[in-house]
């Protein structure tokens, strides 16, 4: 298959690596969460892409349609989105508490304040 046919997957892995890079490389706690979100969302796209059936319609019973997209990945991702929201909320809540305790959300400044790690 030519790579145009796998356009979705190219985008998915580009986003995945972008998000992963942001999580690893950034020292700002909020930016890390943003990167984590991009990383997780790329996985959602991966699942949705694999559920697509060429020429298929939405998985709803409609007269005259016989080819449907696979609904299972959609359902799985609905769950994963909920998990992602919970993770983001918890991460941001922790960032707020860290800001209150340290006065900063930059990782190196936090480490500088607790040097006896």
Partner 1 sequence: MIFDNLPALLVVLPLLGAPLCLLLSRGRPAWLAATLVSWLVLAISIALLWQVRAGGELHYAFGDWAPPWGIDYVVDRLAAYVLLIVAAIAAVVLPYSWRSVRRELPTRLHGIFYTLLLLCLAGLLGIVITGDAFNLFVLLEISSLSTYALISLGRDRRALTAAYQYLIMGTIGATFYIIGVGLLYMLTGTLNMADMAARMAAMEGSNTLHTAFAFIVVGLALKLAMFPLHLWLPNAYAFAPSVVTAFLAATATKVALYAMIRFIYNVFGPAFTFGEMHVQLLVLPLAAAGVFVGSVVAVFQHGLKRMLAYSSVAQIGYMLLGIGAMSVTGLTAALLHLFNHALMKGALFLAVGALVYRLGGSRLQDIAGIARDMPWTMAAFVIGGLSLIGVPGTVGFISKWYLILAALENGWWPVVVLVLVTSLVAVVYIWRVVETAYFGVRPADAAPVREAPLALLVPTWLLVAANLYFGIATGLTVGLAGDIAAGLGAGLGAGGGAP
Which residues in 9-68 contact partner 1 (CB under 8 A)?
16, 20, 23, 29, 32, 36, 39-40, 43, 46-47, 50
Tokens 């991460």 belong to which residue? 91
Backbone angles phi, psi at 57, to 5 degrees: -105, -175
Give the three-state DSSP class for 17. helix
Shortest approach of partner 1 to residue 64 CB, angstroms?
Answer: 26
The footprint of partner 1 on this chain (CB under 8 A) covers a number of residues equal to 31
Do residues 24 and 68 make contact, with C-beta atoms less than 8 angstroms apart? no
Do residues 31 and 43 make contact, with C-beta atoms less than 8 angstroms apart? no
Contacts with partner 1 by CB under 8 A lie at: 16, 20, 23, 29, 32, 36, 39-40, 43, 46-47, 50, 73, 76, 79-80, 83, 86-87, 90-91, 94-95, 97-98, 101-102, 110, 114, 116-117
């Amino acid at each position: 298959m030519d790579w145009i046919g796998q356009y979705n997957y190219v985008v998915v892995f580009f986003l995945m690596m972008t998000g992963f890079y942001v999580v690893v490389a950034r020292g700002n706690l909020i930016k890390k969460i943003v990167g984590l979100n991009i990383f997780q969302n790329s996985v959602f796209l991966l699942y949705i892409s694999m559920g697509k059936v060429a020429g298929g319609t939405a998985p709803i019973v409609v007269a005259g349609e016989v080819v449907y997209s696979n609904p299972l990945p959609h359902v799985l991702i609905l769950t994963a989105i909920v998990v992602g929201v919970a993770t983001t909320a918890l991460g941001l809540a922790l960032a707020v508490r860290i800001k209150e305790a340290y006065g900063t959300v930059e990782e190196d400044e936090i480490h500088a304040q607790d040097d006896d790690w």
